[in-house]
A and B are shown apart, each in its own frame.
Chain A
Amino acid sequence: MHAIDVVSLTKRYRAALAVDDISFSVPRGATVGLLGGNGAGKTTTIAMLLGLLVPSSGRITVLGHDMARDRFAALARVNFSSPYVALPHRLTVAENLRVYCHLYNVRQVERRIGELTRELDLGAFIDRPAGQLSAGQKTRVALAKSLINRPELLLLDEPTASLDPDTGDLVRSWLERYRAESGCSILLASHNMDEVARLCGHVLMMKQGRIVDRGTTQELLTRYNRSDLEDVFLDIARSRGRHAGPSELGELTEMGERSEVGA
């Protein structure tokens, strides 16, 4: 059983097609990157995976639970972090974590908060209101919130956006360690190519709502004859997209389907 199984997922807002018939799987214990420019459909895809948005068609299975029928059972085993969703800024870090311990039905609340405080080095500001923290501290708190229930699947939307390189590196190191120790699966949406190359075993490239290519970082580099993922990203972004000629798009799709993370 995969952590995520997505089959023919489509999201249409009246005339606009935000996600167009995508299929992919995230194996257990894998970190998969979801790459694409602004408006590519990454956030919409994550919102559907979290049950925040209902697909127009298609099927999503998360940790064996059909999200259309049984999303709350899945949500108890999943967590999410994004710098674009805040935590109540008048509550202290400890109070915020306590709230989410209750929401996720975590046993031994104070012990879990203590563990996360040690692991993510929150001690210096655990009793400070969340609104008074620096961007780096907020990211660590958001990460602590996302790990409160020891999730089996972690959905991260640009987890290191607006962080300085040092803090970004700290977060990435921590995610690597956490995945190795817990066996957690991670779906990571990011614009940071170095981050994706470092953390993700597999990459899904999205453009205009479709997955236009997929594979391991090395496979993508070889396929596009490039030395870094950023150039691959630019090649895809500058191609004429899904309405491009059959030779261009057909080749991308076929190669994508052959990869391990394929549908």
Chain B
Amino acid sequence: MSSLRRIWGLMYRHLTLFRRSWPRLLDLAYWPVLQMVIWGFTSRFFAARIGNHGAVTVSMLLGGVILWETALRSHLGFAVTFMEEIWSRNLGHIFVSPLRPWELLAALVGMSAVRMMLGVVPAAVLAALLYHFNILSVGPVLILFAINLVLMGWWIALGCVSLILSQGGGAESLVWSMLIGLAPIACVYYPVAVLPHWLQYAALALPAAHVFEGLRAALGQGVIRWDHLGWALILNIGWMALAMLLFTQQFTMARRNGSLMNLGE
């Protein structure tokens, strides 16, 4: 119960900011909506030239946009919430409170979920209104796709936060570039088979590549690829375990070398 209160305390601190600042809320939805608009018109343009397969192509591209934003917003929601503590020079108070490190991570996960929903839901609604694409048409398996992408966003963010803890603000730029840098091998808009053979191994080590293969199978052939979903989950569990190990190690190192005291300076 005490843990839940502490987790809520940290979430309340961030939720309060959203309640008071509409530009913050707008910012959350801005990029996902913009991506949706650009990719929506682009896919319509190409679909008109493809002919019979146009509708499926539009679905794959727009479904890809929405699900990729799910991963991206989860990642940014987690990492940016942590960085806001650094920017406000508040970490000193937080780390000397009874808040356990795992409670801090739980609060970041909670805020990430809130931020992801506030970003992705407007984009999904826009896709339905402008392009008549209903992401829910993928079926209940959509939830499994989304969960895997959210998990991937979290472990990548956890890795970034771990490096910020030990390396300080210099590692902040990783937050913005890390997941976007993985986009080429996440195979959001094209199948893994398109990649050079050697790069396919790297792609298949990422849960995202399996999720998007599964999404294309669901939309194109109407089948659920449980093999891809299983691999995505196994990979997520493995990567998450590694990220937590890294966090524990870097947090301990930060308490040893004093970088915890200097974050934000």
Chain A interface residues toward B at CB < 8 A: 13, 43-44, 47, 50-54, 72, 75-76, 78, 80, 82, 84-91, 95, 98-105, 145
Contacts and interface: CB of A to CB of B under 8 A. Distances in A.
A101 B90 contact: no
A99 B258 contact: no
A52 B92 CA distance: 8
B160 to A, nearest CB: 21
A190 B81 CA distance: 33
Contact of A100 (B2, B16, B93, B258): B93
Contact of B255 (A53, A76, A85, A104): A53
Contacts of B2: 105
Contact of A52 (B20, B89, B100, B261): B261
B113 to A, nearest CB: 19
A54 B259 CA distance: 11
Nearest to B256: A54
Interface string B14-37: 001100110000000000000000
B206 to A, nearest CB: 35
A47 B94 CA distance: 13
Contacts of A91: 13, 16-17
Contacts of B252: 54
Given A52-B255, A99-B10, A105-B2, A85 B92 contact: yes
A99 B9 contact: yes
A87 B10 CA distance: 13
A105 B99 CA distance: 10
Contacts of B21: 90
B38 interface: no
21 contacts: A13-B258, A51-B95, A52-B255, A54-B255, A72-B98, A72-B100, A75-B96, A80-B96, A84-B92, A85-B89, A85-B90, A85-B93, A91-B13, A95-B13, A98-B9, A102-B12, A103-B9, A103-B94, A103-B97, A104-B98, A145-B93
Nearest to A51: B96
A41 to B, nearest CB: 12
Interface residues of B, number: 31
B123 to A, nearest CB: 27
Contact of B96 (A13, A50, A90, A105): A50
Contacts of B6: 102-103, 105
B88 interface: yes
A209 B113 CA distance: 46
Between A43, A88, A101, the greatest number of chain B beta carbons within 10 A of the residue's beta carbon is seen for A88
A55 to B, nearest CB: 9
A74 to B, nearest CB: 9
Pick the 3 closest A-B CB pairs, nearest first: A102-B9, A85-B92, A86-B89
Nearest to A53: B258
Contacts of B96: 50-52, 75, 78, 80
Given A44-B258, A99-B12, A105-B6, 19 more contacts: A13-B257, A47-B258, A52-B92, A52-B255, A52-B261, A53-B255, A53-B256, A72-B100, A75-B97, A82-B92, A84-B92, A87-B88, A88-B90, A95-B16, A100-B9, A102-B9, A103-B94, A103-B99, A105-B2
A197 B258 CA distance: 31
Nearest to A129: B20
B190 interface: no
B260 interface: yes
Contact of A102 (B8, B20, B89, B95): B8
Between A51, A89, A103, the greatest number of chain B beta carbons within 10 A of the residue's beta carbon is seen for A103
A47 B256 contact: no
B6 to A, nearest CB: 5
B132 interface: no
Contacts of A104: 97-98
A110 B98 CA distance: 20
Between B13, B96, B258, the greatest number of chain A beta carbons within 10 A of the residue's beta carbon is seen for B96
Nearest to A47: B261
